[in-house]
Amino acid sequence: MLKKDSVLLFQGDSITDTYRTDSENPAESLGKGYPAKIAEKLANDYAELNIKVINRGISGHRTKDLVSRWDKDCVDLKPDYVSLLIGINDTWRAFDSNDPTSAEQYEENMRILLGRIKAETNAQIILLNPFLLDSMPDKPRMRPDLVLKQEVVYKLIKEYDVTFIDLQKIFDKMVAEGTDMATLSEDGVHPTDFGHEVIAAEWLKAVM
């Protein structure tokens, strides 16, 4: 359960951004994805907690980009909770831009991010696993690379005190039970509105 009057920070890439940076006031916008849906639920059902929600996801970012902006977009905000979803672009750029991020570099960057949260804030960490769905023909070839990043996440959750939400497992289970992949993500990376609803519901289930 989130503590009263706490600051909740969402961090990540386009999945977290979801048009936040396209708004007239990006610093105040929560975008249109799962952070906004979670904030709406908190405001409607847990108004007495008075949670301040901040979104600092930026489309296209990788772990190295978060490392470079971790002062102003995390530590300086003095969050009580940090929800982090990052990694798909660390895989994707190897395929669309010939600019790979090794699993070793991904792990190093993740350790910097998580370590600074632990060392420089009092925030609790909610860590979401990067995911991929094969709803487009080009996506299966990316899976072996992403699996290496996911294995890093599985290792880190054993070392850091985090609340973990395994989105890959959640989505794979839904698909196995008959959900059409495209209803979750048309391109295999960016959730549909329904996909964001699923993430928000799973987040609230894990945290609240």
Choice among 13, 14, 59, 61 that is catalytic: 14
Question: What is the spatial distance between Cα 122 and Cα 140, in angstroms, rounded to a whole number?
Answer: 39
Residue 61 a catalytic site member:
no
Residue 187 a catalytic site member:
yes
DSSP letters of the chain? -PPTT-EEEEEESHHHHTTGGGSS-TTT---SSHHHHHHHHHHHH-GGG--EEEE---TT--HHHHHHTTTTTTGGG--SEEEEE--HHHHHHHHHSS----HHHHHHHHHHHHHHHHHH---EEEEE-------STTSGGGHHHHHHHHHHHHHHHHHS-EEEE-HHHHHHHHHHTT--HHHH-SSSSS--HHHHHHHHHHHHHHH-
Choice among 5, 138, 187, 193 that is catalytic: 187
Residue 14 a catalytic site member:
yes
Q: Cite the active site residues.
A: 14, 187, 190
